[in-house]
Chain A
């Protein structure tokens, strides 16, 4: 892989899965520190809580609490291992289908409970 700039070139980019489905943005990046070895990019993170953390810890706590009460995601943040990133170009391309992952949990929930029940939706 060519060298990529993490903040300028990956953070806040569109994420696209193997079916070209938009699966959120790179809301956060996780760097893993390793003893005696250089740090490594571990995961990309997706989720409102990750975004809230970029403003303040308090906002993050609120978002997590609201998410527990009303959300449909199991976890406040969804981590995708960097090894699943196929390519970083205009978008960050993943090498798997995201439709059953937490990244598209809201899309699924709305389809099953709201939109799918409305007329002319399919």
Chain B
């Protein structure tokens, strides 16, 4: 048994690692370049909602010993459960393709070799890590390596941001120009922040580790602290990008532009640090998305699941994640622009949030599952208002964005 402090520390590290990935980096950088500090509120709002959702998924696991997918099928029946599961499967495949693209891009920045060339080796390495590795090893190593993302915070501080202005941007404001792009970027940030794969993954881990009511305090601390750190990192990306690109009126259209974001502050270390941060974060996210998607399918159909057993003991599980990462690779290889793919995947995540989150919130208000540990009115209100808001903005702005392109 790990001691409590180590457990919380690891949880927080995993939280940071899980938070910052290609979606947060790309959307925050784009927001900073186009709109200065003004979209920081989207990171803050998304994170508050995410903290509630992560806490809820841990609480569901600790009180009912059910994962989200198990509980949704049991409570609402298979006919209903198919709808959120399919929506999540499709969006997760796009997100996974974007994350694999992020790893490939990091390698391209270091080697100069094209993204498409890297796709197959990266997928093979990812598959091998899942096939041979255990969750602890993969997660802890990516989380510890992920600390390199502190580079973004260092760069942000070195740029002497106007802290008063940053603080004011926590409150949502209306755009001064380009409203369609402003709201689309806002919704992409919300989608990148409130990632359903994160809480599916978290709840599966909690059930596997047999959390009980005793773990509720630790769960609350991990969710709040881990995600807050993550939000600080994402805000740092936004601030740095606002300083580097916004004054020059450069909008971010390609990943290669974002790559130089650390260079003015960190000079020759800027590009390698960006590449390592991107590579490590995206690889960690690849593992989480691939496993969360497979957990979802396995738990919906009642298969044996779990990353720590040998593949031969969990054959449907291991074959499923193999197929999932192959499909994601094919999506990446179709030649879609990786930045567009990322931003669109994040906006689509926001679009499907009500489908995925609403049944989950119902469960957290159902005594038969959570036994006296029901949601409070604040948690319910924050989550429901945020996800419906995000989804409505997504419905309006996604078509505008597609037409605009």
Residues on A lying within 8 angstroms of B by beta carbon are 11-15, 21-25, 27, 51, 54-55, 90, 106-107, 110-111, 114-116, 118, 120-122
Q: When A and B form their complex, what is the total count of cross-chain residue pairs whose Cβ atoms lie within 8 Å?
A: 65
Q: Which of B64, B304, B310 contacts A107 (CB 8 A)?
A: B304
Contacts of B132 in A (CB 8 A): 120
Cβ of B172 under 8 Å from chain A: no
A21 to chain B, nearest CB (A): 6
Q: Is the CB of A24 within 8 A of B312?
A: no
Given contacts A11-B77, A54-B79, A121-B312, contact A24 B303 (CB under 8 A): yes
Contact between chains at B78 and A111 (CB < 8 Å) = no
Using a CB-CB cutoff of 8 Å, which residues 298-326 of chain B contact chain A? 300-305, 310-312, 315-316, 318-319
Q: Are B316 and A110 interface neighbours, CB within 8 A?
A: yes
Query: When the two chains form the complex, which single residue of B73, B78, B311 contacts A121, counting CB atoms closer than 8 Å?
Result: B311
A24 with B319, Cβ < 8 A, contacts A54-B79, A116-B312 known: no
By the criterion CB–CB under 8 Å, are B77 and A12 in contact? Answer: yes
User: Across the two chains, which residue of chain A brings its CB closest to B302?
Assistant: A25
B73 touches A25 (CB 8 A): yes
Q: For residue B302, which residues in chain A have a CB less than 8 angstroms away from its CB?
A: 14-15, 22-25
Q: What are 7 contact pairs spanning A and B, CB under 8 A?
A: A11-B77, A13-B74, A22-B304, A51-B78, A90-B65, A90-B66, A110-B319
B303 and A115 within 8 A (CB): no
- The contact of B315 among A13, A14, A90, A114, by CB within 8 Å, is A114
List of B residues within 8 angstroms of A120 by Cβ: 131-132, 311
Which of these, B73, B315, B316, B318, contacts A12 with CB under 8 Å? B73
Decide if B312 touches A111 in the complex (CB within 8 Å).
yes
B288 close to A (CB within 8 Å):
no
Contact in complex: B318, A27 (CB < 8 Å): no
Interface string of B211-222 (1 = CB under 8 A from A): 000000000000
Instruction: Determine whether the beta carbon of B319 is less than 8 Å from that of A114.
Output: yes
Are the C-beta atoms of A115 and B77 separated by less than 8 Å? no
User: What residues of A have a CB within 8 angstroms of the CB of B303 in the complex?
Assistant: 22, 24, 107
Contacts A14-B74, A90-B66 known; 14 new A-B pairs at CB < 8 A: A12-B73, A12-B74, A12-B77, A12-B81, A14-B302, A15-B302, A24-B301, A24-B302, A25-B73, A55-B79, A107-B315, A115-B315, A121-B310, A122-B312
In Å, the complex CA distance between A12 and B74 comes to: 5
Residues of A within 8 Å of B319, CB to CB, are: 110, 114-115
Output the nearest chain A residue to B305 by Cβ-Cβ distance: A22
Distance A48 CA – B81 CA, assembled complex (angstroms): 15
Question: CA A32 – CA B315 in complex, angstroms?
Answer: 35
Find out whether the CB atom of A27 lies under 8 angstroms from the CB atom of B78: yes
Q: How far is the CB of B143 from chain A (nearest CB, A)?
A: 24
B70 at the interface (CB under 8 A from A): yes
Contacts A54-B78, A110-B319: A115 and B311 contacting too (C-beta < 8 A)?
Answer: yes
Residues from chain A with Cβ under 8 Å of B310 in the complex? 121-122
Closest to A110 in B: B315
Q: Which residues of A contact B318 (CB under 8 A)?
A: 115, 121
Residues of B within 8 A of A54 (CB): 77-79
B206 to chain A, nearest CB (A): 14
Is A115 a contact partner of B312 (Cβ separation < 8 A)? yes
Q: Would you give the shortest CB distance from B127 to chain A, in whole angstroms? A: 10
CA distance A107 to B314 in the complex (A): 7
Give, as a whole number of angstroms, the nearest-CB distance from A81 to chain B.
Answer: 19
CB distance from A98 to the nearest CB of B (A): 11
A54 to B73, CA, bound (A): 13
CB distance from A15 to the nearest CB of B (A): 6
**When the two chains form their complex, are residues B70 and A14 in contact, meaning their CB atoms are under 8 A apart?**
yes
Give Cα distance in the complex from A24 to B78, angstroms.
Answer: 13
CB distance from A119 to the nearest CB of B (A): 9
- Chain A residues near B70 (CB, 8 Å)? 14
Chain A residues within 8 Å of B131, by CB = 118, 120-121
Chain B residue contacts of A106, Cβ below 8 A:
315-316
Bound: A12/B315 CA distance, A: 22
Q: Report whether B78 and A12 are in contact in the complex, using a CB–CB cutoff of 8 Å.
A: yes
- A51–B305 Cα distance when bound, in Å, is 20
CB of A39 to closest CB in B, whole Å: 21
Closest residue of chain A to B311, judged by CB? A121
Contacts of B64 in A (CB 8 A): 90
B174 to chain A, nearest CB (A): 46
Whole-angstrom CA separation of A12 from B66 in the bound complex: 13
Q: Which residue of A lies closest to B304 (CB)?
A: A22
Within the complex, what minimum Cβ distance (angstroms) separates A26 from chain B? 8
Q: Determine the residue in chain B with the shortest Cβ distance to A14.
A: B302
B47-87: contact bitstring with A at CB < 8 Å (1 yes, 0 no)? 00000000000000000111000100110011101000000
